[in-house]
Structure formats: C-alpha cells, structure tokens
Amino acid sequence: MMTEEKVLQLAAEGQEQLWLNPKKVAFEKVRSGFPVTEREMDEAEQRLLRFAPYLAKVFPETAETGGIIESPLREIPEMAVWLRKEYGTEGKWLLKMDSELPIAGSIKARGGIYEVLQYAEQLAMEQGLLQPEDDYAILAEEPFRQLFAKYTIQVGSTGNLGLSIGIISAKLGFQVIVHMSADAKQWKKELLRSKGVTVIEYPQDYGKAVEEGRKQSQLDPMSYFVDDENSRSLFLGYTVAGRRLSQQLEEQKIPVDAEHPLFVYLPCGIGGAPGGVAFGLKHQFGDHVHCFFTEPTEACCMLLGMATGKHDEIAVQDIGLSGKTQADGLAVGRPSAFVGRIMDPLLSGCGTVEDIRLFHWMRQLLEREGLFIEPSSCAAFALAPRWKDLQEYICKEGLQGKAITHIAWATGGRLVPQEEREQYIHYGE
Ligand SMILES: *Cc1c(COP(=O)(O)O)cnc(C)c1O
C-alpha cells in the first residue's frame, strides 16, 4: 500500500498510478448507513417506468425498448486478447455500452434525464395536471408544454451533461440555458443551439461554468439549477444501472459470486455518474463487485479527494496539475462534495491514465471489435496497464485464481459526428 505522500507525489508528477482505497469495508457493515437509501433507488426506477410511455412517444429511438433508456452489454473477446498480450490481463472483458444510450449518447442519459423528469413530474403534479397512475404520454400535450415553458432549467457542463439536460428539457418545453466550460466541443454547442437551447460559453473550466450557472439561476425564481456538484437526483438516476446490469448479466449467464468476482471500471469526472452506478452495483452484488474509478492523470480529482480525505476541499490545481485533458467528459478539477464521502467505504480504488493511451485504445477497440467510443470512455481501460499493481488488491481480497469478469464502462460516443471521429482516430499518430 502506498503512503498518501507517495500517491500525491505521483499525481503531481503526472504519472499513471493505481490508488487502492484503505477505507473500503465489507458492504453489509455499511449498507444501511448511506444518505441515499434503497427506497429512493426503488422510487427512481419506478419513476423511469412511469415516464417510459412518454419517452417512447417523443424519442422514437427508445420505442424499441418501450421508452426504457438502457444500453447493451457486450463481450469484447478480441480486445481481451489484445489487452492480455499487451498488459498481461486475465479474464473475460465486457463493454457496457452507455456510449450507445439513446437520446444523449452518453452515461448522462441516465442521471441528467432522470433529474429533469423528476422536476417536470413535480411541477405537473403541483398544478394538478398529472397523477402517478396516468399514462405519461400525455406529457407531450399542449397544457404541459405551456406549463413547462414558464420555467427555465440551467446547468453547467463540459458538454455531455449539457447535451442530456438540454435535449430532454427542450423536448418537454422548458427554456434551457447551458453554461459550457472551455473544454466543451463546438459540435455539442451547435447541436444544443439547433434545439433552441441557449448556450453560454466560458473561457474557464468546468468549476467556473457551474458557479456562474448556479449564480444566474438563483437570480430567477422560475429557474431550476441542475447542480452536478451536489445533486442527489442525478446520483439516483445513475444508481438504476445497478439493477439493470444485474439483469443483463443473468440473461447472458455470466455469474457474479465469490468464485466469479466482477471488476468494474468507471471513467470519472466529478464523480456523480460513476458514483451512482457503483452505488447501485454494490447494492446488487455486495462484496462480489469491485468498483474502480478511472481518471486522466491531469484531472485526477477523485483520487486526490479520496486519498487525502479532503474531498471537495482539494483541486488538481492545488498540486500543480492543469486539469486539462483530451477526455472532455472527465475534465473536472474538483470532485463532488458528497459522492466521495459515499464512496469512502465502497470504492476499491482509482486508476489514472495519460491522454495519449486513450486514443490508442480507441483505435484498438475500433479495429478489433468495430466499436467506436469517445476518448473519455476509453479511460475504462486504465487499469489494464496497472495489472501488476492490481495483484496487490487481488491478493488482499483473496481473489487469486478466481475467474474475474471485467466490465469496461464505455460512457459516451454515439453522438460524436463523423468528422470528429476521424480526428480522434488520427490523433497523435
Ligand atoms: C460525464 C462523463 C463521465 C463522468 O461522469 P461524472 O459524473 O462527471 O463523474 C464519464 N464519461 C463521459 C463520456 C462523461 O460525459
């Protein structure tokens, strides 16, 4: 186990590392002590079911799944062969393809859309326009649109959260303002503007975009701010992935138990998405699932927050890092205030990766499996080169010789335009 000092030194030098979480404990010891409850997770799942008829109606791409926003889980045998040859990894590899999620094309289609739906439902119920047992397809009708048009939804984003919030809010009829950080890609801003969303651009980073968005939203009593730094609602939307993944594994006859541990690698920005997913997974599989967050070396904010115990009181800039990365979805300098604290007893560790590898892995996945995912998503492979370091964890947990299933959680990609894909594919060659 590395000392905190050593972890910080490696981070400050921009070196890749695997930090193992010394605070992780047996799940049953902490199960009932979280600020987010199982009952709330059930409610989130129920709410998404209520909204399914509406989503199926207004987003035809979700009609096939009956308005349920879910992604495929796919084995990637050729990539596994390559990872083994290159890094010595052992075990089966699966790709959880949130990169293909409908509507927003990224993992933000889970949390972001959920939070806006929850708010819309609350408004409509307060007005007496909606009952829980109604067919929610009526939300597409004029009285609802007129109601929502009186309200503004605002959010700060590096891109993907803005896309998910912007697209669903505009569809419901809300006014929307997305505060975009400097990292945000041009095509994301243009896509949003084409849907009638107001995009305000900031030359600074994500933290600034959120701060300004929050401030402007507070000035308007008819405005609702989706607060990525603190939102329980976003978090809850992500947790639903746990139960759904459990179903998919069952359907594919992939066991998860003491003999078949599941290792899940989740690209992390501010922590809400990977935190919510990991939280849901722990409730499904307890100690049989081992969750790791993965971050770019220059934006390893969750690693810093958790390793030092300072959480949102430390930023990557405090140790001289830039916070800048080609993985725009992960370009966050300061972790969420509450996610790291929830993850303290749950997370197995954090791995970091240099940007240049992300593009390499992107090309490998495309060549070997014919799958495109965006650079941020490729951070899901960050633990492969750390395979030797991971042995310490495997020994400590008594998992030597067990059949590990690895899930790389691909967090985005579907909406990336073809020209952008070409640029990514040739980046750094
Ligand atoms: C937002 C995002 C993440 C990480 O989510 P956080 O909630 O910021 O931790 C990972 N990958 C992609 C592609 C994203 O857009």
Q: Token digits for 153?
A: 């939804």
Output the residue whose Cα is nearest ligand 1's atom 8: 269
What pLDDT is recorded for position 418? 96
- Tell me, in angstroms, the distance from the centre of ligand 1 to residue 107's CA: 7
CA angle in degrees (0–180, nearest 5) for 163-158-334: 135
Architecture of domain 108-234 in this structure: 3-Layer(aba) Sandwich (3.40)
Whether the CB-CB separation of 116 and 172 falls below 8 Å is answered with: yes
> Greater confidence, 274 or 181?
274
Pocket of ligand 1 (CB under 6 A): 106-108, 160-161, 267-274, 329-330, 332, 374, 376-377, 411-412
- Tell me, in angstroms, the distance from the centre of ligand 1 to residue 129's CA: 34
Over residues 381-385, the mean pLDDT reads 98
- Tell me, in angstroms, the distance from the centre of ligand 1 to residue 274's CA: 7
Q: Using 50, 70 and 90 to split pLDDT, how confident is the model at 207?
A: confident
Which ligand 1 atom sits nearest the alpha carbon of residue 228?
7
Whether the CB-CB separation of 265 and 407 falls below 8 Å is answered with: yes
- Tell me, in angstroms, the distance from the centre of ligand 1 to residue 99's CA: 11
pLDDT tens figures, 138-149: 999 999 999 999
Query: Which of 113, 178, 376, 420 for mutating ligand 1's site (highest number of atoms within 8 Å of CB)?
Result: 376
> Tell me, what amino acid is at 365?
L
Is residue 337 over pLDDT 90? no
Query: Which of 97, 100, 160, 416 for mutating ligand 1's site (highest number of atoms within 8 Å of CB)?
Result: 160
What pLDDT is recorded for position 1? 77
Is residue 177 over pLDDT 80? yes
- Tell me, in angstroms, the distance from the centre of ligand 1 to residue 327's CA: 9
What pLDDT is recorded for position 162? 95
Which ligand 1 atom sits nearest the alpha carbon of residue 374?
13
Query: Which of 95, 98, 100, 107 for mutating ligand 1's site (highest number of atoms within 8 Å of CB)?
Result: 107
Which ligand 1 atom sits nearest the alpha carbon of residue 111?
7
Is residue 94 over pLDDT 80? yes
- Tell me, in angstroms, the distance from the centre of ligand 1 to residue 329's CA: 5
Over residues 182-199, the mean pLDDT reads 93
- Tell me, in angstroms, the distance from the centre of ligand 1 to residue 112's CA: 11
pLDDT tens figures, 208-245: 999 999 999 999 999 999 998 899 999 999 999 999 99
What pLDDT is recorded for position 331? 93
How far is the C-alpha of 110 from the C-alpha of 73, rounded, in Å?
16
Which ligand 1 atom sits nearest the alpha carbon of residue 234?
7
pLDDT tens figures, 25-34: 999 999 999 9
Average pLDDT, the chain: 96
Report the relative pairing of strands 18-20 and 349-353 from DSSP bridges.
Answer: antiparallel
Please say whether the dihedral angle defined by the alpha carbons of residues 233, 237, 239 and 243, taken in this order, is positive or negative: positive
**Start and end residues for every CATH 3.40.50.1100 domain found in the chain:** 4-104+240-428, 108-234
| 291: enclosing H helix or E strand | strand 289-296
What pLDDT is recorded for position 69? 98
Is residue 252 over pLDDT 90? yes
Residues of the chain above pLDDT 90, percent: 95
How far is the C-alpha of 153 from the C-alpha of 147, rounded, in Å?
13
Output the residue whose Cα is nearest ligand 1's atom 1: 329
Q: Looking at the domain that runs over 4-104+240-428, which CATH code has it been given? A: 3.40.50.1100
What pLDDT is recorded for position 312? 96
Over residues 320-338, the mean pLDDT reads 94
How far is the C-alpha of 246 from the C-alpha of 357, rounded, in Å?
30
| 347: enclosing H helix or E strand | none
- Tell me, in angstroms, the distance from the centre of ligand 1 to residue 139's CA: 29
What pLDDT is recorded for position 326? 94
Report the relative pairing of strands 262-267 and 152-157 from DSSP bridges.
Answer: unpaired
Report the relative pairing of strands 152-157 and 223-226 from DSSP bridges.
Answer: parallel
What pLDDT is recorded for position 429? 77
Which ligand 1 atom sits nearest the alpha carbon of residue 238?
7
What pLDDT is recorded for position 184? 87
- The model carries a pTM of 0.97
Is residue 15 over pLDDT 80? yes
What pLDDT is recorded for position 158? 87
Is residue 49 over pLDDT 80? yes
- Tell me, in angstroms, the distance from the centre of ligand 1 to residue 331's CA: 9
For the beta sheet containing 92-97, the strands, ordered from the edge strand earlier in sequence to the opposite edge, are 18-20, 349-353, 289-296, 262-267, 405-410, 92-97, 73-75
- Tell me, in angstroms, the distance from the centre of ligand 1 to residue 108's CA: 7
Specify the residue for token string 């959260």: 161
- Tell me, in angstroms, the distance from the centre of ligand 1 to residue 179's CA: 16
Query: Which of 97, 106, 316 for mutating ligand 1's site (highest number of atoms within 8 Å of CB)?
Result: 106
- Taking Cα atoms as reference points, which of 4, 14, 9, 17 lies closest to residue 321? 14
Q: Count other C-beta atoms under 10 Å from residue 399's C-beta.
A: 18
